[in-house]
Structures are given as structure tokens and as C-alpha cells.
Structure 1
Amino acid sequence: MKTFVLVGVVLGILFVFVKKIQSKGDKQMVQEWIQAGAVVVDVRTKSEFSEGHFPGAINIPVDVLPTELGSLKNKDSKIIVYCRSGARSERAKQILTAKGYSSVINAGGLSDMPNSR
């Protein structure tokens, strides 16, 4: 039993460490994609968007994303999605990927986005 607990703790620590490494790489990729003209989509609600958003972002709330795909015409475009914490943007990424969009990054929350464009 102690071995299982120890293995669980070690795996948990490794998971957190790997996620931190991945997030640093993703932030750099997000910055590169923004500089290359990626479409930035804020998938929060309209009221959240009106309270503040990333410059140049378009607002397509995740709940209406499947019916608003016409706003994202080119399925080969680089698309960056973000929300408040990263959960809704992960859902948005899954929706877009399932619909054939080939280059989608979940940037996480608004606070994870680069400071300037």
C-alpha cells in the first residue's frame, strides 16, 4: 500500500513538472503564432469579453462555437483560443479539431496570453 502511495506522489510531481515545461513551450509558440498573424479567439462569454480581452481577439463563446464556425473560414489558419482558466478553451480546441481545423493552440487563460501584440 505504501508503495502505491509513493508511486502516486511521484507521478503527481512528474505530471506537474511536465505541465510546467509544456506551458513554457506553449507560451513561446503562442507568441510566435500571434506575431505570424494567428486568429485569436476569446471563448469566454460576451460579458467577460467586454470586461477586457486580448487586443485583436474575436469573441466566440464556447457554447455557440459549433454554430459560429463561419467566422473561422480557413481550416488551415493558425488559431489560438483562450478563456479565463483554460478549461473552456480546451473544449473549444477539441471542437475545432473535430471539425477539421488543423492548427489550434489552447493558450489557457487571458492571464496566460502575452502582454503585447
Structure 2
Amino acid sequence: MASDRPALAYKVLTADQMAALETEGAFAGAPVDVADGYIHLSTAAQLTETVDKHFAGQTDLHVAAVDLEALGEAVKWEESRGGALFPHLYAALPLAAVVAYGSLERDTNGKVRLPVAG
């Protein structure tokens, strides 16, 4: 992985999807992920826009912080929204690669808070 790319990316999950990840130890993807053939991830800088664009009006969402290095070659950086490069996971997301997760919360400026391991 290129050194200028972040080590962590983030996946937004519904409560049911988060429960499945915890119970099954892996997440095969949301319907849009399955349709596209990869799991959509976002960098910290992309996360709030992703939530605003793709999850508007939804409640009971969760954010999982994903260790991209643990996923190795299954992660591909590909052009997406506005020409920006997004991390795409061409495999199931293993719980072992999730370093932190929690309910989706926003700060006073409306920016999505990143989950912190703890």
C-alpha cells in the first residue's frame, strides 16, 4: 500500500449489519456492496460526505474503523465520487480487521466522529 494512503478506513453499517459482523466474525457486504462486487469504505476525510450522501435520514447507524494493512491486497484504491480515490475491499470484512467501532455520532459541526478503540 502506498505510504501516502491512510492506514485506516471506515465502513458505515446498519445495526443489523453490525450485529452480523459481531456474531459471524465477518461481513460480506451491504446490498450495494454485493451488487458492486466490493465493500465500499471511506477515509476519515470522506466519511461525513459518505454518510450525508448515502445514509441520509437513516438512524441507528454504526461506524467501524478498519485496519487496511490487515486486509492486504484485497484493498484497491479506485476513483469514485468527484474523482477521489476510495478504498474498496474485494473480500468479506473480517471482524479481526476492525480496530474500533461504535454508534454513528456527530460533533457540533455535524462531522461524523471516528470510533476510538478502548
Higher strand share: 2
With normalisation by structure 2, the TM-score equals: 0.28
With normalisation by structure 1, the TM-score equals: 0.29
Higher helix share: 1
Structure of higher CA gyration radius: 1
